[in-house]
Amino acid sequence: MDENKNNNETTHKSKRISINPFWLIITILAAVILSSVITALSLEAGSEKAVNVGTDTRSEFSKLYSVYDTISTDFYDEVDNEELIESAIDGMVQGLDDPYSEYMNVDDTEAFQETVTGDFEGIGAEVMQEGNRIVVTSPMRGSPAEAAGVEPGDQITAVDGESIEGMTTTEAVQLIRGEKGTDVVLTIVRGEGEPIDITVTRDTIHIDSVTYEEVDNVGHISINRFQEGTTEEFEESINQAADDDVEDIIVDFRYNPGGLLSEAVSLINQFVPKNEVALMLEDSNGERVELETENRHNSNTEDMNVYILINEGSASASEVFTGALNDHFDDVVIAGTQSFGKGVVQQTQNFNDNSMLKYTNTKWLTPEGTWVHEEGITPDVELVNPDYYRVEVINEDDVYTEGQESETITSIKVALDTLGYDVGTINETFNEELIDAVMSFQEDHDIEADGNVTGDTSITLMSELRTYINENDAQLEYLVDYINGEYSEEEIEETAQENAQNIEIKSIEELQEEAEGTEAE
């Protein structure tokens, strides 16, 4: 038995396959060639029709790929395929019909990041447009512009030798800004002098989001947006108010469009103790998540009377803060006018090419569950701005003269009346009293006194009115008077209404339609 077994094993082991080396090499070569041909054909097919890529599982994109292929191959002119793709993405986001969702290219993303950090590279000067001129409002303290000798009122006529006459403020700023460490040459006219060139070396400029001042024993803390570090800046202001023995503080959110939601929560935490609800987030399924405060509150806020000042430009994160304090504290007073009403939150997605997608992903609600979207927050004390805040911008190329009637003439009368000139009855008629007022204004500003409103008269009138508004903050003054007990709630509201009778006050719906999208990320 053992012997037969051994014999069978010997016989089995001897049955081996023998292949001629020549045919082995031929077989391998044939396999390589066949593989190469198949690969080449596949690549060729893929390059001709993008629609063949991945459509087995994503058939909904077949039309998109087909349009892309058709345009790429059959359009009569040269096509930038990368631009086609960018436009397709942008169109997809626009199809959401959501003013707060957007696709941002590299430049847009850079500008967006500046609003989040408060940092940009430039010269550090605020400018504004007066007619066809770009004028420096003020150089920022400690900025390269200030160091180089740029002064308030300087008219910038050229940047690096390129005239900026007729440019918008945005267009001019794009030329002035640039990489840190580089030089820019500003050609300026100061007063009646000749043009001079000033070389400014650009640097990184940081814009604080919080400012503090004491007004008639009331601490006024203004927050222009919620960016990185806003809560730290605010805490410094609160602590300064405590050092000044201030008992009443105004948290001013007028024209604050929002910003970082995380900063709003931490700002709420300055007043609200740890582990309290700051707001709620609600997803598309209606499921809610509570966001709570994480730290101990600032003890300096405990004995302070808090007044929150809002207007139609207060949106998103500023409404988050206002809604939270209104729900948590019975004695917080909200003053001003109805807020914007943005009750949704955006998320961002970054791409490798430094572009970005910003899209709405949740609703937010106050701690008690109120959704302010498209409704806004109604103030406890309504303080309407005077008429001169709603004056129509007067175009320097238009001519207004005796006998004309229009809404713009009402604005002219309001502006001159605000600046101390007697215009008689404020209406839409350009009458003799208005002519006399215009001539007096022209004489006071060394302009030919012909009684017509056009050219330099229009530019100067708008400039003087802007200066007056900057120096006379009506809503703030109303609120300070109310806090100091000079007027009751009814009296201060009535006073504000009396100063706002000649130019129509737009509804919150009209203002929302005009406003650009704001964000809370």
Q: Kind and range of the H or E element at 10?
A: helix 2-13
CA dihedral 176, 177, 179, 180 (to 10 degrees): 90
Token pair belonging to 445: 């500003």
CA distance 335 to 492: 11
Phi then psi for residue 49, to 5 deg, are -135, 105
| 154-182 per-residue burial string, b: 16 or more CB within 10 A, e: under 16 | bbbebbeeeebeebeeeebbebbbbeeee
463 by Cβ neighbours in 10 Å (0-12 / 13-18 / 19+) ranks as: middle
Inter-residue contact 277 to 289 (CB < 8 Å) = no
Give me the sheet containing 248-252, strands edge to edge: 210-215, 218-223, 248-252, 305-310, 333-336, 381-382
In the set 327, 339, 413, 458, the catalytic residue is: 327
Q: Is 35 a catalytic residue?
A: no
**Selection from 50, 76, 78, 75 nearest residue 64 by Cα:** 50
Q: Is 316 a catalytic residue?
A: yes
**Selection from 258, 145, 151, 137 nearest residue 205 by Cα:** 145
In the set 143, 318, 342, 473, the catalytic residue is: 342
* Three-state secondary structure string covering 436-466: HHHHHHHHHCCCCCCCCECHHHHHHHHHHHH
57 vs 45, 53, 69, 89, 175, CA distance in Å? 18, 10, 19, 20, 48
Q: Is 180 a catalytic residue?
A: no
Does the CA dihedral 307-313-317-323 come out positive or negative?
positive
Kindly report the number of other CB atoms within 10 A of residue 22's CB atom. 8
**In the block, residue with structure tokens 């044939």:** 30
Per 3-state DSSP, what percentage of the chain is helix, strand, and coil (rounded to 5)? 40, 20, 40
Inter-residue contact 209 to 118 (CB < 8 Å) = yes
In the set 101, 237, 266, 316, the catalytic residue is: 316
Phi then psi for residue 122, to 5 deg, are -175, -150
Active site residues: 316, 327, 342
